[in-house]
Each structure stands twice: as structure tokens, then as C-alpha cells.
Chain A
Amino acid sequence: MGRKTIFGYMGQILRVDLSEKRSWNEELDEETFQKYVGGVCLGAKYLSEEVPQGVEWSSPENRLILVTGPLAGTRVSGSGTFCAVGKGPMTNMATSSQANGFFGAFLRFSGFDGLIIQGRASSPTLLLIHNSKVEFRDASHLVGKDTLETEDAIKLELGLGRKLSVYAIGPAGENLVRFACLVGDGGHVVAHNGLGAILGSKNLKAIAVHRGEFRPPIKDNNRLSTLAKKLLQDAKNFNNGRLYKWGTNGVFPAAVKGGFLPIKNYTTNVFEDYEKLTPQYTRTHFEIRPRPCWACGLHHVHHVRVTEGRYEGLEGEEPEFECVNAWGPLIGNHDPGALVMLSNLTDRMGLDVNESGWTIAWVIECFERGLLTKRETEGLEMTWGNVEEISKLIKKIAHREGFGDILAQGVRYASEQIGGEAAKLAVYTQKGNTPRGHDHRARWSELLDTCLSDTGTIEATFGPLRPDLLGQPPVENQFSPEEVPRISAMVSGWHQFEDCLGVCRFCIKNPFLTVQCVEAVTGWKMDLDYAMTVGRRAINLLRIFNLRHGLRREMERPSPRYGSVPVDGPVKGKGIMAEWDKLVENYYSHMGWDPKTGKPLPKTLQVLGLDHLIHDL
């Protein structure tokens, strides 16, 4: 390409303006990559520079920023990942969400480290990136198709088969359902905070990237090769091989007993007869075959065929843990075949499974208590476990039909519209998004993170706190208002750094080896402190963006039901709200933020090299 080689990078970002049907390449220098690395941190930089206060999520000026990182498309296992950043509809603040698959690797093979889309197309559009060129193709014939139909149709039309990666929206995104997601590579999802609605608002039906001929330049291939093998072995052994053997749903049995399974909209923590929902059952009774992402040796993703029960013969993606939760315990369903049906329907419609699950569980609880009747639900019998009626409601939401139109705004909006007692039953954060599919009342660190995060989902944590992975002592008390925020802040930054790399989180469980991989690829000197600083830079960039766009401390709280006291189970009687202010203020302080307002302190920004943002505060 005639430019100076920057090891680890293609060296350029593809810019697209849909309004003008114009694209151009933007070169980046090595200093910028060293500071922002890629993924969420580079995305946060662009978001904060290009989307000013007053720009709404649905405005053409909003950006859809898709960024890979230095490990994408390398021999590191699971390196087909990308990070999507924008201003999201659920919170009307920043969002950052990742998807695995092939797209991240193929984008790099097309010659780009990232893709930034602005404007709004005048008619439904398919963006095709092919041999470093961009084509704006008509997508009118794809309108109304679900996400997987869209992917198949595009692959057939272009005749590129497996050499093409497609991410598309379904009916939900087209209809601007606020929790629409972006689905691609046969069922991978950019899930949180309504990224799919942003595509819908831009009239962009799908993005397709051809597996091009370019490859990222690697500084030390031999070292990378050795490290990549070690990293994969470590990931396979992690937690006694649970993910490798059983997939993400491997945690289900622990979640049942540990009290962090979300059951019937947080009305109980006891779930009997759950064995058929465990992977120990489904993976040994249903027909399954692995369907790994780009270069992944961990291959946890599987295709499944239901072999018994009412949905015998149904095929699709094996439901991940959060899908199992949403369409199992959360709605009172015990049938694993129904779970496959509902999970695949949600993906096909292009709906975020978490928000969908919380919304429908709330409808069911209201219906069971007589707060909603068949009049409101338009004849649907919304009782626990009534999966056929639930599937009808999912379609109504995606098409914004009748009652589905109110629900399409998310559970917070819907519960406020219905009001009265029903308003107290919905699970959400006061920023407007819902948590992942867990009962966080038994895992305070993730409840705190979900409410305080600036991404529309978790930010500092990923499951339980694991300071031990960063070489620090483990948590002594998981319900301590001092220890939980202190350790959350201490580990905060690592997961954001992971999201800068263009590689799947499940494949990089050893932070020290991961950092060495980045060194081998780029030739930079790097240690854990460097990595944590980059992660914290991303966190603070997003926080300042959110403060500009209306974030206030009172939004950093759970809804009454989300913060309620468990009535049974292992954490019975222990409520987080009694300690809430202490938890928040301690977290703010440990993050170097004003303990009263949550605004980053000037010296925090200075340390992170974000001095230019001090005047914003």
C-alpha cells in the first residue's frame, strides 16, 4: 500500500457517508494506535470527537463505529472479533458491544482496522466491502427478511459463500425497536443498547465483508506462534475446562445453586426440575456439531438439532447461557427444545435476548397478577412457560404491532406507560438498559457494574470478580460495601483492554500471555499496567461522553425490582440498596472520580493522557 508498515495494523480506517454515498480511507499513525490500541478505546475516541451533545441516537450524525484490534485476523485463537461503538437507543448514551465470528478478521483482510459509518441512506442499502472497495448496493428486496435469511440471500446473490461475512438487521432493526441487535456469521450478535436500531435509522440493512488478500504485518511470528498455542491451552483448561466441554451454559448448574439464575422476573431464587436445561443433558441428548469462529480452537459455538419433545426436528444455534436464562427460568420454561425455538426466533427477528427476556417476564408477572389482561395483550395468554404465546409476542415486538409497539421501547418505558403497581415490577437500570440474563442480587459486583457502566452493559467485570487473574488476592466477602467497589475498580480496565484487541474474550483468559501476544504482534514494549491504562482510558472517554450527553448520578441506580431483596435462596433477606450510596461513592473514589458526582477528576484524566477533556468538566 506504499505506506510505512505499522506492525499489528493495516494502518487505516474505512470511512463511509451513507447520505453522500461516499467512502474514503483514513490513515492512522503508530502513536494513535499505541495510545488507543483498537476496539472500544479507538471507538470511544471517535465517538467522543465526532458525536457532540445534542445528537440523538437516531440522527444521521450518530456514528456506527466498528473496530477490530491488533490481534484480529492473526493466529491467536478466536481472532474474528470486532467491537461496535455508537450512541445507543436504550440509554441514549454510549454503547460498546462485541461480536465474534469472522467479520473482524475479514475486515482486516480487506485492508482496514475499522469502519466508521455516518449519514443516512435514502433507501435500504447493503454495504459491500470487497478488495478494499466499497459498494453501496440496493437492499430493497431484503427488507422484511429475518437476519439469517438476509445473510443467506446476500451470500447466494454474491456467490461468495464462506468467503463472505455478513452482519444484518432483522425486522426489529428495520422497525427501530430500541433493543434491536445486529446478527451475523450465522448467529453471532452485537447485542446491547440497540446497535441494530442505529443501522435501521441509517437505512442500512446489512454490511458484508469479503475475505480479502491482505494480512496484518506481524513483528515476531515465531514468538506469536508459541504464545498463541499457550494461550489456547490455557483457555481450554480454564475453570477445569468447563467452557471447552460444555459451552457458556456450563455455568448453568452453578447458577441454579449459587442464586444468580434469574427466575420468573426475580420473584424467587428457587428453580426445580432444571436438569434438562443443563448442557450435561442437551449436549448428550440433542444432535450437536461445533461451528467455530475464525481460527478458534476452543470452538464453544455449536449447531443443534432438537431430537425430542414438541420441537423435535428443529435446528439452529445452540442457545448460549444468557439465552437459556431468558427463555428458561426467567419465563418459567423447562423445555430445552422450546429454548432452542425461542432463542433462534429472537436472533432471526434481530432482538437483544436480554431486553426481550426481561420485557416478556415482566409482561407475564403483570398478567399473572391481573395487572395486565387479555385486553392489553390482545388475546395472548401470557402465563409462565407458555412458549407458543411468548413466540407470538416476540414477533409482535419485532414488527411493532399493537401491544408489541409499547414493548418495543424496552421494559422501562413499557412499565412506566402501564404505571401503578406494574411499574414497580420491571428489572432495569435508571439509565434505561437492562442487565445481562443473571440474578445480580446474588452478585453485587455485577449489579454495581451494570448500573455504573458507561457501555449499556457490563464494563469492569465479567462474571465474578477475578483479581487473582491479575495476580491479586481474591475477594474475601462478595457482599462487602468496601471490598466489592474497591476490587471492582482495581480490575476495571482489563476487560476494556480485551475489547481493544479484536479477539474473543473466552480465548484470552490469561492476561499476562495476552499482553505478550500484543507485544509479539506490534513490537511494542508492553506490560499489564500499560494494558490497564488503555482500558481505563476507554472507560473515562465513554464516561465523559455520557456526562456530555446527560448522565447524572441518580441514573446510576437499579430499578426497585432490580435492587430488591431476594425472598428465598442463598442470599435470602440481603438487599443491596441499604449499602447503595456507599458502594457507589467507594467505586467513584477508587476510579479517581469525584465521590459525589462521579465525574473524573482532572488528575485522573492527566494520568490517562486525556488532559484535553478536562475543560469538558
Chain B
Amino acid sequence: MSILEIDISVGPVFGLEKRSPDRTEGPRHLKLSIPNASQVYTVRKLVSELSNHEHLAEMFLDGKARALKGNAIILLNGTHIDLLSGLDTQIRVGDRLVLIPFIDGG
């Protein structure tokens, strides 16, 4: 049995607020510990794990389909995963993932 720990940095979250801190935005970093991780772990599996974390699920997963929302971006060690193997991109212990929600409008 192995434990895979991944640092997740949820993009647009800051501790800058002087007044009215935005409590709905959740933690800036999160460690996911996944027991029994198979040798090959993919972003797709990570996305399915998000549904166990209510706050992240709300931000990143489509309500019904529980699939990654179309407007989310995931970076693996600073690179957009669509330039790697998309959801099939492999992740390893020590990798740095950045999940970026909320990119509409402007």
C-alpha cells in the first residue's frame, strides 16, 4: 500500500483581504492522500478524487456529470496539461499541480 501526496494550489486564492475576507474560497493549498494508489496515477483519477472534497468539487466539477468543468485549467509543474496528455497525463509523488477555476468573462 502506498500513499501519494499531491500539493494542490488552487489558483485564485489570496490572503490579501483587509476587510471582508472571502471565506467561500477555501484553502490555498491542499494535500490529498490517496491510499492504494496504483503505480500509474493520472490527472483523470485525481479529478475523480475531487468529488470527495465538497469545496473543490463545487469549484471544479460539473454538477451532474462530475466531470472536470470546461472552464477549468490544470497545470502540471507549470505546464498546461492539454499540452501533455490531457486527463491521461501521469502524475508522480512530488509533482506540483495548479488547479485554476473561474476564467470566464472579462
A interface, CB within 8 angstroms of B: 238-243, 245, 248-255, 257-260, 275, 278, 280-281, 284-285, 320-322, 436, 438, 442, 462-468, 474-480, 506, 569-574
Contacts and interface: CB of A to CB of B under 8 A. Distances in A.
B93 interface: no
Given A242-B102, A278-B14, A571-B83, A474 B24 contact: no
A466 B104 contact: yes
B70 A284 contact: no
Interface string B76-106: 0011101100110000000000101111111
A552 to B, nearest CB: 31
B49 interface: no
A259 B80 CA distance: 9
Interface string B1-28: 0000000000111101111101011000
A463 B18 contact: no
A570 B79 contact: yes
Contacts of A278: 12, 14, 16
Given A280-B16, A284-B18, A468 B69 contact: yes
Interface string B42-65: 000000000000000011001000
Contacts of A252: 12
A74 B98 CA distance: 42
A326 B40 CA distance: 43
A319 B43 CA distance: 37
B103 A255 contact: yes
B19 A284 contact: yes
A243 B17 CA distance: 17
A278 B14 CA distance: 9
A254 B105 CA distance: 12
Nearest to A509: B104
Interface of B: 11-14, 16-20, 22, 24-25, 58-59, 62, 67-71, 73, 75, 78-80, 82-83, 86-87, 98, 100-106
A480 B62 CA distance: 22
B14 A254 contact: no
B13 to A, nearest CB: 8
A464 B106 CA distance: 11
A570 B80 contact: yes
16 contacts: A239-B104, A242-B102, A254-B73, A254-B101, A254-B103, A280-B16, A281-B14, A284-B16, A321-B106, A463-B104, A463-B106, A466-B71, A467-B70, A477-B86, A570-B73, A570-B83
A280 B104 contact: no
Given A259-B80, A275-B16, A506 B105 contact: yes
A466 B105 CA distance: 11
Contacts of B71: 239, 463-464, 466
Contact of A464 (B14, B20, B75, B103): B103
A258 B73 contact: yes
Contacts of B16: 275, 278, 280-281, 284
B101 A239 contact: yes
Contacts of A436: 106
A571 B69 contact: no
A477 B83 CA distance: 8
B102 A251 contact: yes
A238 B69 CA distance: 13
B12 A468 contact: no
Contacts of A462: 104-105
B14 A257 contact: no
B24 A241 contact: yes
Contacts of A248: 105-106
Contacts of A478: 80, 82
A321 B104 CA distance: 11
A574 B83 contact: yes
Given A254-B11, A284-B17, A474 B67 contact: yes
Contacts of B17: 280, 284
Nearest to A240: B59
Contacts of A259: 80
Contact of B11 (A253, A463, A474): A253
Given A255-B106, A258-B11, A436-B106, 14 more contacts: A254-B11, A257-B11, A257-B100, A258-B100, A275-B14, A284-B17, A462-B104, A466-B104, A468-B62, A476-B87, A478-B82, A480-B82, A570-B73, A571-B83
B104 to A, nearest CB: 4
B103 A258 contact: yes
A474 B68 contact: yes
B105 to A, nearest CB: 5
Contacts of B105: 239, 243, 248, 251, 321, 462-463, 506
Contact of A477 (B14, B82, B103, B106): B82
A474 B68 CA distance: 8
Contacts of A479: 80, 82-83
B70 A240 contact: no
Given A275-B16, A278-B16, A474-B62, A254 B100 contact: yes
A243 B105 CA distance: 9
B14 A571 contact: no
Of B25, B79, B100, B105, which is in contact with the most chain A CB atoms at under 10 Å from its CB?
B105
Contacts of B104: 238-239, 251, 462-464, 466
B41 to A, nearest CB: 20
Contacts of A476: 86-87
A240 B82 contact: no
Contacts of B79: 570, 572
B69 A474 contact: yes
Nearest to A479: B82
Contacts of A284: 16-20
A250 B98 CA distance: 18
A509 B58 CA distance: 18
B14 A240 contact: no
Contact of A240 (B20, B73, B102): B102
B86 A251 contact: no
Contacts of B20: 284
B84 to A, nearest CB: 11
A251 B104 CA distance: 7
Contact of B102 (A250, A281, A574): A250
B7 to A, nearest CB: 14
A251 B100 CA distance: 10
Of B67, B69, B70, B79, which is in contact with the most chain A CB atoms at under 10 Å from its CB?
B70
Nearest to A505: B105
